[in-house]
Amino acid sequence: MAFHVEGLVAIIVFYLAILAVGIWAAWKTKNTSSEGDRSEAIIVGGRDIGLLVGGFTMTATWVGGGYINGTAEAVYVPDYGLAWAQAPIGYSLSLIVGGLFFAKPMRSKGYVTMLDPFQQLYGKRMGGLLFIPALMGEMFWAAAIFSALGATISVIIDVNVNISVIISALIATMYTLVGGVYSVAYTDVVQLFCIFLGLWISVPFAMSHPAVTDIGLTAVHQVYQAPWLGSINSLDIYTWLDNFFLLTLGGIPWQAYFQRVLSSSSATYAQVLSFLAAFGCLVMAIPAVLIGAVGASTAWNQTEYGVPDPKSRKEADMILPIVLQYLCPVYISFFGLGAVSAAVMSSADSSILSASSMFARNIYQLAFRQNASDREIVWVIRITILLFGASATAMALLASSVYGLWYLSSDLIYIIIFPQLLCVLFIKGTNTYGAIAGYLFGLVLRITGGEPYLYLQPLIFYPGWYQDDNNLYIQRFPFKTLAMLTSFFTNVIVSYLAKYLFESGTLPPKLDFLDAVVARYSREHMDKATLVKSDNIVLNELAPVNPRHSLTLSSTFTNKEAFNYVDSSPELSNTEDN
């Protein structure tokens, strides 16, 4: 394969353009935020992200390199096909569910990060425990897509994988470092445009290649391999459902999602952004599906790629860059490469910023340094952006099973954080004892179920398990969803049991060592005035307010919907009365 100078120049121009937009956004942040709220401006901006930019950045966060490459791979692989390309539908439904049920309460209460409600209700120790799977998910996700980007660039322009990963990570980390959420959001607009343009330009050229058979024919008839529409075996239906619920419900409790929700200018805008991003995810998946279908409809022996085909060479995960390289003209493949690069950077920058935001606020500030100055928090965010960016890069270069680590960590987010989020937002009366018990039960059930990607053998064999050709044990039973439900019900049951035992006098107050039941105002439960402080949020979004106290009070509120939402919440009203 020849080294393409033109491709390298195109990538350099693209990266410089992205960096320029990121620096401009950082300048905009510096000139629009006051000196006293600089740290919050980095995390959630001025809470003034509009529909256009917000819709683009939320869509770009999901439409990453893994999303595009993974969708094309699922459609291409004969044993799966379109029926198993669950990410587009799963993530779109995840955004819809998040918009319907989670965006409004989170934004209306004025939180700064996803972990704020956990620390407010369960205390700083529980917030620290929940930070672990959240951090793992963000870091391993960033590492996985950096790894995919390096392989993609090396396929198309034949440069060293390590160099391409390091440079890409440096660019993404640099503009995230200087501009925070504003840089991430505005670069996402450019990146999403590049993804859309680059992939759609490539599709017609790939489909018109002489070696490609009509994808309409290969969708239902076997030509070079099984039809790319795919099918779901009756034995695999529970596995399919388990993965589907993992994507749909497990795609909600990510800081990258709630960072956009909490940056929006109102609770209603947060909901609308979720719905726009759901539509955007579906639209952006179409070219990836078509490219996967083209790969399944190609006689590879009639191309420069030759034989055997990508699946036989175990390069099915690279089908998208392979199609761009061998079925498109050189200059078109560079557009496609820019699209993949944009997709990776748009997700990686979000993950790095999300991890840094949670650490700086929920671990450093709220758990250890409640009196830390805003300038100190800003420096903590910047240092952790560098550290987490470097860590993700190192994992992409050194870890042999980074995708397996990401699969496991994303499972933990689904099994541990999602049921905890349900409890903290919608189940009144849960406490720290239930949260810890649910955390441990979910963790144990997931680990004992095994993980083939990490060669982790199961300790619990559920009905329907089997051994594959590599002597790995595969679980057909939906044990991930079982673990999630167990974690949820354990939290509720143990919380109410602990409350009954302490309040009935069965257990003495001195045994309430977490101050979760007896001590009504625990030292560990942070007051909302400490947890949520922002001059950019209207008063009604910070605390419940009863409009009957003043006939003219409602006229001071600019966001009537958030006012009505808080006032109508029975749980908040009870809190106020107490």
What range does the domain containing 297 cover? 5-376+421-426
Q: Which range, of 52-56, 75-79, 531-535, averages the lowest pLDDT?
A: 531-535
Q: What is the pLDDT of residue 330?
A: 83
Question: Is there a single domain that holds both residue 317 and residue 442?
Answer: no
Residue range 255-272: mean pLDDT, rounded: 92
pLDDT above 50 (res 551):
no
Q: Which range, of 183-197, 353-367, 444-458, averages the lowest pLDDT?
A: 183-197
Domain end: 475, 509, 524, which one? 524
Residue 239: CATH number of its domain: 1.20.1730.10
Residue range 288-294: mean pLDDT, rounded: 95
Q: Is residue 179 part of a domain?
A: yes
Residue range 105-121: mean pLDDT, rounded: 93
Residue range 520-525: mean pLDDT, rounded: 44
Question: Is there a single domain that holds both residue 309 and residue 452?
Answer: no
Closest C-alpha to 177, from 54, 361, 349:
349
pLDDT above 70 (res 535):
no
Number of helical H runs and strand E runs in the chain: 23, 2
Helix (H, G, I), strand (E, B) or coil at 219: coil
Question: Is there a single domain that holds both residue 243 and residue 357?
Answer: yes
| pLDDT tens per residue, range 369-394 | 888 888 899 899 999 999 999 999 99
Q: Is residue 466 part of a domain?
A: yes
H helices of 212-263, in order, are: 215-218, 237-250, 255-263
Question: Is there a single domain that holds both residue 358 and residue 453?
Answer: no
Question: Is there a single domain that holds both residue 174 and residue 36?
Answer: yes
Gyration radius (Cα) of the chain, Å = 25
Question: Is there a single domain that holds both residue 434 and residue 366?
Answer: no
Q: Whole-angstrom Cα distance, residue 310 to residue 300?
A: 8
pLDDT above 70 as % of the chain: 85
Q: What is the pLDDT of residue 492?
A: 97
Looking at per-residue pLDDT, the higher value among 547 and 477 belongs to: 477
Reported pTM? 0.85
Q: How confident is the model at residue 553 (pLDDT cuts 50, 70, 90)?
A: very low
| pLDDT tens per residue, range 157-188 | 777 778 878 888 888 888 888 778 888 888 88
Looking at per-residue pLDDT, the higher value among 30 and 24 belongs to: 24
Question: Is there a single domain that holds both residue 212 and residue 361?
Answer: yes
Q: What is the pLDDT of residue 416?
A: 95
Q: Is residue 177 part of a domain?
A: yes
Q: How confident is the model at residue 520 (pLDDT cuts 50, 70, 90)?
A: very low
Domain end: 524, 548, 566, which one? 524
Residue range 403-411: mean pLDDT, rounded: 78
Q: What is the pLDDT of residue 566?
A: 41
Q: Is residue 444 part of a domain?
A: yes
CB burial string 354-375: b at 16+ within 10 A, e below: bbbbbbbbbbbbbbeeeebeee
Query: Based on the number of CB atoms within 10 Å of its own CB, is 16 exposed (0-12), middle (13-18) or buried (19 or more)?
Result: exposed
Question: Is there a single domain that holds both residue 196 and residue 265?
Answer: yes
Q: What is the pLDDT of residue 402?
A: 63
What total number of domains does the chain contain? 2
Q: Tell the residue number behind the tokens 């400490």, with chain if given.
A: 530
Q: How confident is the model at residue 265 (pLDDT cuts 50, 70, 90)?
A: confident
Q: Whole-angstrom Cα distance, residue 25 to residue 439?
A: 39
Question: Is there a single domain that holds both residue 14 and residue 101?
Answer: yes
Question: Is there a single domain that holds both residue 104 and residue 239?
Answer: yes
Residue 500 CB coordination number (10 Å):
12
Tell me how far apart the 2 most distant CA atoms of the chain are, in Å: 80
Q: Is residue 356 part of a domain?
A: yes
pLDDT above 60 (res 578):
no
Q: Which range, of 168-172, 423-427, 439-443, averages the lowest pLDDT?
A: 168-172
Question: Is there a single domain that holds both residue 152 and residue 292?
Answer: yes
Q: How confident is the model at residue 476 (pLDDT cuts 50, 70, 90)?
A: very high
Q: Whole-angstrom Cα distance, residue 399 to residue 100?
A: 38
Q: How confident is the model at residue 401 (pLDDT cuts 50, 70, 90)?
A: low
